[in-house]
């Protein structure tokens, strides 16, 4: 698979990374009940197919996703790069909360290293921003972890340009992890140009918009979602907006089909069309899912396809 250099680091990432939110289990912290054996097979299949990095987070399944990633990596002779996160935790009642405290960030890293079974984390990311003071404290702790050799590079997820500008004065930013898809393009205007100017890598999450851009989702499917499924409260999956989005997917199908690809592969390839995007994070719960989507990694859209897609999106 194609690789791209991550910002100002020496890391070369495959243009598709495996996201592991879905293997955390339970709808509160993942994507519903999940078989760990399936998860491990999926992770191993992803690496066998050319994916060289895995993205996870402690909050995915309250540590469970990291543990499963660790179990999978232990079985591999060729180890993938590991990206995980900090600052989003849970209490004894499994209730989520944010913590930007210096000592907590240090302790979180130790916990992640233990769960993952690795000696160093390749990319450690602040999961989401807080106040300026909280971001400063988090970033200072993460910079210390780099100095201590426990993490190689640090990045931010869901940060704005102003927030990135501020923490960059403390320590270089390796990457930004924002949402980006055909249905969510706000990063194109300010964030992507900023990252390009400042040599910050961009690893985009949700390129298939939580499954909406796979070509397999329907209004009928929406009615079958369990009560805890977070998509029930997502505007993109409800009412007139859902109808509009499904019509858009139908319009995209001929482009995918004439290229011998699926709509899911088209959505990923479209995300990767921009040079500012280092890689796209793609989730999967089963081996066959990642074996399909990974094929988008070497698909470069033609100018004609891109122009036609833009017409549809407008």
Whether residue 60 lies in the annotated active site: yes
Q: What is the three-class DSSP state of 4?
A: strand
Q: For residue 4, is pLDDT > 90? A: yes
Global pTM value: 0.93
User: Mean of the per-residue pLDDT values for the chain?
Assistant: 93
* Residue 238 confidence (pLDDT) above 80: no
More confidently predicted of 164 and 314: 164
Q: What residue spans define the domains of the chain?
A: 3-210+271-300
Contacts 24+ apart (CB under 8 A), 138-145: 138/86, 138/87, 138/100, 138/102, 138/105, 139/167, 139/170, 139/171, 140/102, 140/170, 140/171, 141/102, 141/103, 141/105, 141/106, 142/86, 142/105, 142/171, 143/170, 143/171, 144/106, 145/105, 145/106, 145/109
42-74: pLDDT as tens digits: 999 999 999 999 999 999 999 999 999 999 999
The percent of residues in the chain predicted with pLDDT above 70, rounded, is 91
**Which residue from 139, 116, 128 is spatially nearest to 177, judged by alpha carbons?**
128
Band of pLDDT at residue 215, cut at 50, 70 and 90: confident
**193 beta partners:** none
3-state secondary structure of 25: coil
Res 223: pLDDT? 64
Task: Report, as an integer, the average pLDDT of 258-284.
Answer: 97
- Reported as type and span, the H/E element at residue 164 is helix 161-167
The larger pLDDT score, comparing residue 136 to residue 62, is at: 136
Mean pLDDT of 244-255: 93
Q: What does the pLDDT read at residue 311?
A: 97
- Number of neighbours of residue 110 by Cβ within 10 angstroms: 11
Contact 73, 117 (CB under 8 A): yes
Catalytic hit among 60, 124, 194, 205? 60
What mean pLDDT is predicted for residues 248-259? Answer: 96
| DSSP one-letter code for 52 | -
CATH topology of domain 3-210+271-300: TIM Barrel (3.20.20)
């Amino acid at each position: 698979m194609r690789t791209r250099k991550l910002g100002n680091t020496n890391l070369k990432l495959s243009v598709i990374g495996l996201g592991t939110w879905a293997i955390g289990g339970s709808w509160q912290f993942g994507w519903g009940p999940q078989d760990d054996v399936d998860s491990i097979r999926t992770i191993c299949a992803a690496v066998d197919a050319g994916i060289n990095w895995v993205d996870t987070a402690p909050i995915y399944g309250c540590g469970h996703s990291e543990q499963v990633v660790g179990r999978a990596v232990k079985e591999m002779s060729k180890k993938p790069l590991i990206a995980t996160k900090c600052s989003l935790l849970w209490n004894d009642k499994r209730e989520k909360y944010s913590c930007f405290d210096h000592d907590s960030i240090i302790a979180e890293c130790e916990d992640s290293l233990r769960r993952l079974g690795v000696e160093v984390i390749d990319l450690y990311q602040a999961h989401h921003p807080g106040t300026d003071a909280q971001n400063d404290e988090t970033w200072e702790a993460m910079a210390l972890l780099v100095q201590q050799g426990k993490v190689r590079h640090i990045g931010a997820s869901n940060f704005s340009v102003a927030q990135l500008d501020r923490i960059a004065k403390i320590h270089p930013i390796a990457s930004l992890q924002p949402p980006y898809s055909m249905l969510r393009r706000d990063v194109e205007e300010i964030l992507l140009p900023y990252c390009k100017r400042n040599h910050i890598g961009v690893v985009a999450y949700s390129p298939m918009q939580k499954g909406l851009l796979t070509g397999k989702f329907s209004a009928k499917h929406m009615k079958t979602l369990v009560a805890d499924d977070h998509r029930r409260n997502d505007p993109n999956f409800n009412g007139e907006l859902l109808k509009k989005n499904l019509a858009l997917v139908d319009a995209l199908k001929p482009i995918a089909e004439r290229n011998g690809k699926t709509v899911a592969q088209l959505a990923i390839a479209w995300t990767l069309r921009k040079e500012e995007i280092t890689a796209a994070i793609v989730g999967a719960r089963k081996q066959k899912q990642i074996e399909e989507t990974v094929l988008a990694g070497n698909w470069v859209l033609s100018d004609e396809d891109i122009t036609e897609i833009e017409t549809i999106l407008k």
